[in-house]
Chain A
Amino acid sequence: MTSLGAIFKLYRGHPLFLLLSGALVGVMAIIYFLWSQRVYGWIEDMMTLWLIVWMCQAFLLGLLLKRQVVSPLAGILPGYRRDVALVALAILSITGTATTAWIVSMPGWLHPDRALVVLSFLCALTYLVTVVIAYISVPILVFLSYGTLLLLVTRILDILDMVMHVRGLFEGLVGVLGLILVAFVWRMASLREGMAEYPYLLSWPLYRSVSTALSQDAAYVPAHIPAYAQRKGLAAQSLHWARIEGAAAGQSGLVFLGASGLFMGYIMFSQGHGFYAKPYGNFLFLVMVPLFITLMANYRVMAYREHALMRPVERESLTGQWGMLLALTLGAGWLLVASLVVVVPGMMLGISYMVGVKIWVYLFFTLVFSQMLLAWIVYATTLSNAFEVGAHCLFCIVFVMGEVWSIPSLTLPELVSQAALSAAIGAWFGRVAYDRWCRKEVAP
């Protein structure tokens, strides 16, 4: 039988797991301090941060568990899968227990029992979804992330508020969570060939399963690929790459359809709860759709950089073409979102409400910031140091949030100049990022 202690060591020695655990404890300590000092203004934001860290940790736990489940050891050592499932569950329970102790230790906390259940439910769900995620294709993964993000941007106390007002939801969540966890441990412990989930659990890595899935006939393919050599001009050459995206266009459509559905849900959910008055929630929502569409559409072409770099095109030109391709896709994605934002809330909430919450301004800034965020993402992919990537992401989030927070108090000239400055920084940074990306070595 496998030693449970040996499996525990796998987590104990994992630097990212330790980092996230440390961050989790740190944020909890800060919230406790703020609560005890009655500095309530920041607590809601810190709670959001805490939830993000916890979900990241749950996601990582799921990934580590997945690796252990598909490891060759799991097929050889008797009881290995049962042990790794138990250890992972134990780690989740330790986090849950620590959280319970933490919340209970803060006197006057609003409905701690229900808050705990909602939070635990979200984390456990993330964890479990990650374990079987190898079967799920990238678009579904993106939708899931997007759904999670939506929950986050509505801010955690609002979710709790909602839960407390919906009859039966609390009991339902408790039941579902319990059932999922019991079923998970039971199935993992007795996993063997022939069981329904077996092939899905083994279809690792994610990339392979996704590429195989996408190679099927469902993908859209252009009927004719025009000659690159005959195309003149940056935009035309960029469109050449866009043509070979093929299936990616279909994927982007899926993202858009999914996002539309989520958006409708968001509007219905938020109506009457005043969520539209929350600037960064709206902003994050709006900015993410064009970003997702762009990244999903272009990633699939850019993933074959080795192939593209061997074509008779100079690096400099390729940088420009791909940069232009991303900008064009971003523009198209933004237009789709913008139309949706204008039509749906316009019909459901009325134009005066839209003006009141400055939705137009957010929409405008979405275009500016998504370009900058995109450049940041491309830049981050050229970094190999996880801490450097983390620092960049943190800076990026703080920078964007800072800008967004200032929107409601800005006058029109200030808004325009701020947007112009951001757009200029975004364009320059985009150039630097794509250039760096094209100059990145193709690993052997």
Chain B
Amino acid sequence: MNNVIHARSVDKAYGNKKVLSGLDLDIASGTVIGLLGRNGAGKTTLLKSVLGLIRVDKGTLMTMGENAWELSARGKSRIGYVPQGYRPYPWLQAGQLVEHTASFYPRWNAELVERLLREWTIDKAARVGSLSEGEAQKLAIILALGHEPDLLVFDEPVASLDPVSRRDFLRMILETVAERPCTVFFSTHITSDLERVADTVAVLKSGAIDFCGGLDELKDMVKRIRVRASGVIPQDFGGVGILSRRVQGNDGVFTVRGYSDSLRPLLERNVGGTIEVEDLNLEEIFLEMTR
């Protein structure tokens, strides 16, 4: 098994509120995986659980082959993490925060850090507390990359970045993965970014992973079908796998999950009319799957 993250039947609740429920997830080494989910779906809880910042109630959760809650120093030294709203030690200067962070890691790529600080115009003399949201986020990303981790975990990494920095960030992820084996696990609401860099997507719904697989696999699986039937389409037309339906007389629009090419002739025979199958982009798929 070469999984960087391995979760089986993971449960986590805050009081009576269940956040993760029977969650299974395997992330193979070298994967760039984007985590999608609506607000409150449990994305941050899952990411923090993976990092050992939150203890799961039940189930098995292994990160880098270790129990996530009891990560060793060695295990932690292989992880880079960018949380939401990052702004530690606001009284330190950016350069000093870099120095402080670097001091923990025997392997620290000072050259890379310096280059990124320059490219992203982070003033090393500026206090962390006085940086803008976007600048602080950039600094967090730089610090997470400095020790060249094997696993990078980002919680909404681009939420505060301007379009140029966002593009730079995505390019940097691609470069990092291309240069050396590295697993990237990130949550985001910006599906276009995810499409640009991720090779795998996981959809978190009702506390469990609703889908985890390749982006193409997901796009092949979820389709929108426009039907023009010879007769009136019944309101309950369809069956398992229908994510949404809109029926009006002879016309119907269905979004289906689990579409395959064999479905088309079957539908055409049943409705006795014309069938059009449309591809959906990731945002549309996300909307359909989480509605």
Where the two chains meet, the residues of A that have a C-beta atom closer than 8 Å to any C-beta of B are 211-212, 214-217, 219, 221-222, 224-230, 240, 244, 246-248, 300-301, 304, 306-307, 309-315, 317, 439, 441-442, 444
Distance of A211 Cα from B91 Cα, bound (Å) = 8
Name the residue on B nearest A311 (C-beta): B104
Nearest Cβ on chain A to B61's Cβ, whole angstroms: 13
Of the candidates B53, B92, B105, the one whose C-beta lies within 8 Å of that of A309 is B53
- CB-based contact A311/B76 at 8 Å: yes
Interface flag for B90 (CB, 8 Å):
yes
Interface flag for B96 (CB, 8 Å):
yes
Distance of A222 Cα from B97 Cα, bound (Å) = 11
- CB-based contact B53/A441 at 8 Å: yes
Name the residue on A nearest B79 (C-beta): A310
Distance of A419 Cα from B115 Cα, bound (Å) = 57
B93 neighbours in A (Cβ, 8 Å): 221
Distance of A307 Cα from B86 Cα, bound (Å) = 9
- CB-based contact B48/A240 at 8 Å: no
B129 neighbours in A (Cβ, 8 Å): 211-212, 214-216
- CB-based contact B51/A310 at 8 Å: yes
**Complex interface bits, B78-107 against A, C-beta within 8 A gives 1, otherwise 0:** 010101000111111100100111111110
Of the candidates B55, B89, B99, the one whose C-beta lies within 8 Å of that of A441 is B55
Query: Which among A214, A227, A313 has the greatest number of chain B C-beta atoms within 10 A?
Result: A227
Interface flag for B77 (CB, 8 Å):
yes
Q: Sort A-B residue pairs by CB-CB distance and give the 9 closest, nearest first.
A: A215-B129, A312-B77, A247-B91, A307-B88, A442-B53, A444-B44, A227-B103, A219-B91, A215-B90
Distance of A326 Cα from B45 Cα, bound (Å) = 30
Find residues 44-91 in chain B having any chain A CB closer than 8 Å to their own CB: 44-45, 48, 51-55, 70, 72-74, 76-77, 79, 81, 83, 87-91
Query: Which among A301, A310, A439 has the greatest number of chain B C-beta atoms within 10 A?
Result: A310
- CB-based contact A225/B127 at 8 Å: no
- CB-based contact B104/A215 at 8 Å: no
A-B contact count (CB 8 A): 96
- CB-based contact B100/A225 at 8 Å: yes
A226 neighbours in B (Cβ, 8 Å): 103
**Complex interface bits, B98-139 against A, C-beta within 8 A gives 1, otherwise 0:** 011111111000000000000000000001111000000000
**Complex interface bits, B241-255 against A, C-beta within 8 A gives 1, otherwise 0:** 000000000000000
Distance of A27 Cα from B74 Cα, bound (Å) = 56
Count chain B residues whose beta carbon lies closer than 8 angstroms to a beta carbon of A.
37
- CB-based contact A444/B73 at 8 Å: no
Name the residue on B nearest A241 (C-beta): B100
Nearest Cβ on chain B to A309's Cβ, whole angstroms: 6
- CB-based contact B96/A222 at 8 Å: yes
- CB-based contact B44/A229 at 8 Å: no
- CB-based contact A244/B54 at 8 Å: no
- CB-based contact A215/B127 at 8 Å: yes
B52 neighbours in A (Cβ, 8 Å): 309
Nearest Cβ on chain B to A238's Cβ, whole angstroms: 14
Nearest Cβ on chain A to B77's Cβ, whole angstroms: 4
- CB-based contact A310/B91 at 8 Å: no
- CB-based contact A306/B106 at 8 Å: no
Of the candidates B74, B87, B106, B127, the one whose C-beta lies within 8 Å of that of A216 is B127
- CB-based contact B127/A219 at 8 Å: yes
- CB-based contact B96/A214 at 8 Å: no
- CB-based contact A306/B91 at 8 Å: no
Name the residue on B nearest A315 (C-beta): B70
Name the residue on B nearest A226 (C-beta): B103
Query: Which among B54, B55, B74, B96 has the greatest number of chain A C-beta atoms within 10 A?
Result: B96
Nearest Cβ on chain A to B43's Cβ, whole angstroms: 9
Of the candidates B70, B72, B100, B127, the one whose C-beta lies within 8 Å of that of A244 is B100
Distance of A179 Cα from B41 Cα, bound (Å) = 53
Name the residue on A nearest B44 (C-beta): A444
